[in-house]
Amino acid sequence: MNLTQEDWISQLEADENAVILDVRTEDEYNDGIIANAINIDIHMGQGFVNEIETLDKSKNYYVYCRSGARSAKACEVMNELGIENAYNLTGGILAWNGDVVAP
C-alpha cells in the first residue's frame, strides 16, 4: 500500500508493531537512513526473497527506497510472500522531510 509521507509517519508513530525497512543498496543505506531502519537490498534478487521469508509476518513493515519505485515493488513481493502489512513511502527518501541518520 502506498502512503504519503504524512500518513506513513503518523501510522508508523502509532504502530507498536512496526519495522522500518530500507530496500536500497548497502552504499545508499550507508549514506543515511530513516532512524532504526533495517536494510535488505531488493537488487539481491533471490537473496532479497530469502531474507524477506525470514521476517516476522505478524509485524507491520514501513518500506522505503530512494524514490519510491523499488519499495513499491518490494511491498508487492512481501505481499506475495505472506506479509500483509507492507507500507510504501511514496517519494522515497528523496521526498523525506524528517531526519536522516547514520546507520
Catalytic residues: 65
Which amino acid is it at 72?
A
Angle subtended at Cα 80 by Cα 36 and Cα 6, rounded to the nearest 5 degrees: 40
Angle subtended at Cα 53 by Cα 32 and Cα 88, rounded to the nearest 5 degrees: 45
Least Cα distance to 40 among 83, 97, 1 occurs for: 83
Asked if 22 and 37 touch (Cβ cutoff 8 Å), the reply is yes
Q: What residues form DSSP beta bridges with 38?
A: 21
